[in-house]
């Protein structure tokens, strides 16, 4: 047990530093293991921290102490643990045996490269014995890097600066707050004490146990001992925040104004619903007795949120919600963000991946369940459609190059950012195996997994074993056709990319030949990967609801018999539950296109209609399908009323809009898009309707954004009317949803007077969401003089905007139009020296580069990269997309698209036409 007789003080040592520090040198970075040795494991930490938040203290600092109970797993002569940017005092470090005997320390080595503190002992540490490491005092800086134990700021309604100390420890930043064994499998219990001044309060993972008055206006808050958990999940905040009334297990913390305005009430209500729903679904109770959520100022939170056990931290704009100022898009995003972090309370917190290689076991499940559980709480939102677009299709777009990573990926340096595939691809593959296993097997398997590995760590094979056991219990092993869960999923978690399944029908014999290959935009890349693919077939004669596999494609090619008339269509991959694309022979494509253009589109499920749009445009872009196929298919969209197929089309034409913007035929492309969206525009209208569904509102926002962007005269003029009316009467009827498209649409044709009016509204706006929409709208101007003035205002004229806000605005300007993109590149080039300290050029270039399609644009970015001295790795990353885009334009695709626009964009699709052309 831990020796509690140790007295911890916070006096400052004479020198404040370790006197005997040695630095290991001469190691090649590529040969270094960043892993801790395994001879010692922590059992219990007692952590004492005091942040110094006095106004004007620069830099802000903190003082700490830690006592760690250790178990020796094998004989050793040192204690090695992590610490970074911490100043330790040599004469305040001790190692004791639990008997009370002090173990002498012979030397201390500080390895800055691996963030190690190594305490060498005079006598050996004995296997199976328990020792105590005491670091009575150390010092650190509350950094401004939004990681570790760091400083955040905000301004109250009187304009006064307020300070808070908060944490962000995933993946490897707990070591910046306290010396620790900072690896996910090194779990322990924690007792956390926070010292604060009387005008501040503190919170941590667990309930407050007691508060001790230390005198002099200082108080020590001591929290209950936690359950066994990883270091990266510990969290604490010292602030002057208020909180909502505690309801059941829940509180929400935020600045006083936000609490008083009721902006935390939606998060509180939603959290109660979501956490209870998770418990019922998993059949595993939430572990802790409380769940706190806290809103950190946006500029001081790098990511969206962090799943600290019992104390979830959020970017303020992703937690707080006002009915008066938030759009339905923001409301859904907040809901799903809360659900994402709550999913982690089981996947990540309760059961933790043994190492970051398997981070998809956390993020993949959180990605999937943020939609799955939201759908249970908000069934009227039809979240299945948004998940398909925002996770499955997004993953498919990212996961198709020679640089893509597999789900299981060894991050050389733990500080490397987790790959996108850990999130969206992980969630998409999880959705796939839920469907081929059935929901009941999936649910039972997860319950087995969570119960078996609770408070411990796991690898993918542990998950697969639990699912296999559930399959056996439910007597459904036949669903896998003599394969095991592990056989199948290893092909998905350990290979980069994904397959395209080519379906070729023999219309005389009824046979179908299915073949697979790795899908790449760059066909020159050789890849002979083979996946175990669940194949199911949907026709006009069968049901789309059974999403188990009819057949497993485990070889490069296989043939099956399937009786179907020549004029009938078939679809592979019901509801697009499988993580793959599908291509068909010419006749089957003709049958599908003809059916959707001539018959009832609802006979094909909405998710499959979205699949057809997404697959065809991407197959054509990759050179695996003639561009006439997606273009003729898209003509059916004049009859479409649903979100997913519409948004799939809007996503697809983003690329075509970029590559065609300087072509003489661009006006034909504009007319084509306007014609496709005309049915939706007529059906949805410009303003909300009383009988609108949730997805109708989201569809209206996105369709009107695009219509205004592509040059729809009525859309732009209607938008400007609202601004002119506001300008005239100084009052507006715009709802938050309408602001999402009206501000941008209006500014595309507004003169400087109207633009200035909106800018003045931005300067006076107090609400964060409203202010964001105003700022993004201002960047939509297509007048170069206005845009130059706008960039001057936000970049050169003592703007109070943060670097993060400036970057967001510049990215929005580049998104809004080709005028904005080209002007921004010129502006950055001309003003580089002045601007490099005001923007994050590395992140900005990474966001802009996929939009570049000409050699002239690329050369401008190369010049910027050279001025910025971008690292070779980042330079290569920035160059990748523009080079591929430019190469794409040199192929015949552009001529094919132009030919179709000239000849067929205004032609009705008939069977005779398809027979003649395809």
Show binding-site residues: 340, 344, 363
CB neighbourhood size of 224 (10 A): 18
Sequence-distant (≥ 6) Cβ neighbours of residue 158 within 8 angstroms: none
Whole-angstrom distance, CA of residue 386 vs CA of residue 388: 5
Q: List the catalytic residue out of 341, 434, 642, 740.
A: 341
The b-or-e profile of 172-186 (16+ CB within 10 A means b, else e) is: bbbbbbbbbbbbbbb
Whole-angstrom distance, CA of residue 227 vs CA of residue 266: 29
CB 817 within 8 A of CB 782: yes
Whole-angstrom distance, CA of residue 90 vs CA of residue 17: 7
Closest by CA to 35, choosing from 81, 85, 88, is 81
Whole-angstrom distance, CA of residue 235 vs CA of residue 535: 45
Q: Phi, psi (5° rounding) for residue 666?
A: -60, -35
Helices (H), 664-751: 666-684, 694-710, 713-729, 736-747
- Residues at the binding site for Zn(2+) are 340, 344, 363
Q: State the DSSP code for 91.
A: G
Whole-angstrom distance, CA of residue 876 vs CA of residue 880: 6
| Dihedral, CA of residue 32, residue 34, residue 38 and residue 39, to nearest 10 | 70
Q: Residue with structure tokens 């830099």?
A: 59
CB neighbourhood size of 209 (10 A): 13
CB 716 within 8 A of CB 743: no
Q: Phi, psi (5° rounding) for residue 742?
A: -70, -45
Whole-angstrom distance, CA of residue 555 vs CA of residue 515: 8
Question: Would you tell me the crossing angle of helices 784-795 and 818-830 to the nearest 10 degrees?
Answer: 50
Closest by CA to 606, choosing from 389, 765, 774, is 389
To the query of whether residue 24 is one of the catalytic residues in this protein, the response is: no
CB 166 within 8 A of CB 239: yes
CB 732 within 8 A of CB 743: no
Closest by CA to 817, choosing from 855, 858, 776, is 776
Q: Phi, psi (5° rounding) for residue 749?
A: -125, 5
3-state helix, strand, coil in the chain (%, to 5): 45, 20, 35
Sequence-distant (≥ 6) Cβ neighbours of residue 757 within 8 angstroms: 723, 726, 727
Strand partners, 212: 220
Sequence-distant (≥ 6) Cβ neighbours of residue 406 within 8 angstroms: 421, 493, 494, 495, 496
Structure tokens at 546: 């059974």
Sequence-distant (≥ 6) Cβ neighbours of residue 882 within 8 angstroms: 849, 850, 852, 853, 857, 858, 861
Sequence-distant (≥ 6) Cβ neighbours of residue 714 within 8 angstroms: none
For residue 547, what are the CA distances in angstroms to 444, 505, 538, 573? Answer: 18, 21, 10, 8
3-class secondary structure per residue, 46-69: EEEEEEECCCCCCCCEEEEEEEEE
Q: Residue with structure tokens 């198709």?
A: 400
Whole-angstrom distance, CA of residue 701 vs CA of residue 270: 24
CB 351 within 8 A of CB 286: no
Whole-angstrom distance, CA of residue 913 vs CA of residue 639: 19
Active site residues: 341
């Amino acid at each position: 047990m831990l020796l509690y007789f140790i007295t911890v003080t916070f006096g400052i040592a004479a020198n404040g530093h370790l006197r005997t520090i040695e630095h290991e040198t001469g190691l090649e970075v590529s040969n270094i293991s960043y892993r801790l040795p395994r001879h010692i494991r922590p059992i219990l930490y007692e952590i004492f921290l005091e942040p110094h938040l006095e106004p004007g203290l620069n830099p802000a600092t903190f003082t700490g102490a830690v006592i760690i109970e250790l178990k020796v797993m094998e004989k050793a002569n040192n204690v090695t643990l992590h610490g970074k940017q911490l100043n330790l005092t040599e004469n305040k470090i001790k190692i004791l045996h639990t008997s009370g005997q002090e173990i002498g320390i012979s030397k201390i080595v500080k390895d800055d490269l691996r963030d190690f503190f190594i305490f060498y002992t005079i006598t050996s540490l004995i296997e199976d014995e328990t020792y105590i490491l005491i670091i009575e005092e150390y010092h650190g800086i509350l950094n401004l890097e939004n990681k570790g134990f760091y400083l955040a700021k905000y301004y109250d309604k009187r304009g006064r600066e307020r300070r808070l100390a908060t944490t962000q420890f995933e993946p490897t930043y707990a070591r910046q707050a306290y010396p620790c064994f900072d690896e996910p499998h090194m779990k322990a219990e924690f007792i956390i004490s926070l010292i604060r001044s009387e005008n501040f309060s503190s919170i941590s993972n667990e309930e407050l146990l007691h508060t001790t008055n230390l005198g002099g206006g200082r108080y020590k808050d001591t929290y209950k001992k936690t359950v066994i958990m990883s270091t990266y999940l510990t969290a604490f905040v010292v602030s002057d925040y208020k909180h909502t009334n505690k309801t059941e297990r829940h509180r929400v913390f935020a600045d006083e104004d936000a609490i008083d305005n009721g902006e935390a009430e939606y998060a509180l209500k939603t959290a109660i619903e979501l956490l209870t729903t998770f418990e019922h679904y998993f059949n595993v109770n939430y572990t802790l007795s409380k769940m706190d959520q806290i809103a950190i100022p946006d500029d001081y939170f790098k990511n969206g949120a962090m799943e600290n056990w019992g104390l979830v931290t959020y970017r303020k704009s992703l937690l707080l919600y006002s009915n008066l100022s938030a759009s339905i898009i923001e409301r859904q995003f907040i809901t799903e963000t809360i659900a994402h972090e709550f999913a982690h309370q089981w996947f990540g917190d309760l059961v933790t991946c043994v190492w970051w290689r398997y981070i998809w076991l956390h993020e993949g499940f959180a990605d999937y369940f943020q939609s799955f559980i939201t759908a249970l709480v908000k069934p009227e939102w039809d979240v299945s459609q948004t998940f398909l677009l925002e996770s499955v299709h997004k993953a498919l777009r990212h996961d198709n190059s020679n640089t893509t990573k597999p789900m299981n990926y060894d991050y050389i340096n733990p500080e490397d950012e987790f790959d996108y595939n850990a999130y969206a691809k992980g969630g998409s593959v999880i959705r796939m195996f839920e469907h081929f296993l059935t929901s009941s097997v999936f649910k039972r398997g997860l319950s087995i997994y969570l119960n078996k590995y609770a408070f411990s760590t796991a690898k993918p094979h542990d998950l697969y074993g639990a699912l296999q056991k559930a399959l056996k219990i439910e007597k459904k092993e036949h669903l896998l056709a003599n394969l095991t869960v592990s056989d199948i999923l290893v092909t998905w978690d350990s290979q980069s990319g994904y397959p395209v399944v080519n379906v070729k029908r023999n219309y005389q014999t009824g046979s179908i030949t299915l073949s697979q290959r790795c899908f790449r935009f760059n066909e020159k890349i050789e890849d002979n990967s083979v996946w175990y693919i669940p194949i199911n077939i949907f026709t006009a004669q069968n049901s789309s609801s059974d999403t188990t596999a009819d057949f497993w494609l485990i070889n490069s090619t296989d043939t099956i018999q399937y009786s179907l008339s020549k004029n009938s269509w078939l679809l592979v991959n019901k509801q697009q539950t499988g993580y793959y694309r599908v291509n068909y022979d010419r006749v089957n494509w003709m049958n599908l296109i003809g059916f959707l253009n001539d018959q009832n589109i609802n006979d094909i499920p909405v998710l499959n209609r979205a699949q057809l749009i997404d697959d065809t445009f991407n197959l054509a872009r990759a050179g695996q399908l003639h561009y006439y196929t997606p273009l003729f298919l898209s003509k059916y969209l004049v009859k479409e009323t649903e979100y997913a197929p519409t948004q799939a089309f809007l996503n697809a034409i983003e690329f075509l809009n970029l590559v065609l913007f300087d072509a003489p035929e661009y006006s034909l492309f504009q007319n084509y898009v306007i014609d496709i969206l005309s049915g939706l525009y007529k059906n949805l209208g410009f303003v909300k309707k009383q009988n609108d569904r949730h997805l109708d509102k989201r569809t209206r926002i996105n369709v009107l954004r695009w219509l205004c962007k592509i040059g729809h005269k009525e859309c732009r003029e209607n938008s400007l009317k609202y601004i002119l009316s506001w300008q005239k009467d100084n009052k507006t009827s715009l709802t938050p949803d309408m602001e999402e498209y009206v501000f941008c649409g209006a500014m595309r044709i507004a003169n400087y007077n109207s633009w200035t009016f909106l800018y003045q509204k931005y300067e006076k706006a107090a609400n964060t969401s409203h202010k964001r929409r105003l700022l993004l709208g201002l960047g939509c101007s297509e007048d170069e003089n206005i845009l130059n003035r706008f960039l001057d205002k936000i970049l050169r004229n003592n703007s109070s905007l943060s670097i993060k806000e400036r970057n967001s605005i510049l990215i929005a300007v580049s998104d809004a139009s080709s005028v904005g993109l080209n002007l921004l590149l010129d502006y950055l080039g001309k003003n580089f020296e002045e601007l490099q300290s005001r923007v994050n050029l590395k992140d900005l270039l990474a966001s802009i580069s996929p939009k570049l399609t000409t050699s002239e644009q690329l050369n401008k970015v190369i010049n910027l990269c050279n001025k910025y001295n971008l690292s070779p790795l980042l330079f290569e990353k920035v160059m990748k997309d523009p080079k591929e885009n430019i190469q794409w334009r040199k192929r015949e695709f552009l001529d094919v698209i132009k030919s179709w626009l000239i000849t067929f964009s205004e032609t009705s699709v008939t069977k005779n036409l398809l027979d003649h052309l395809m």
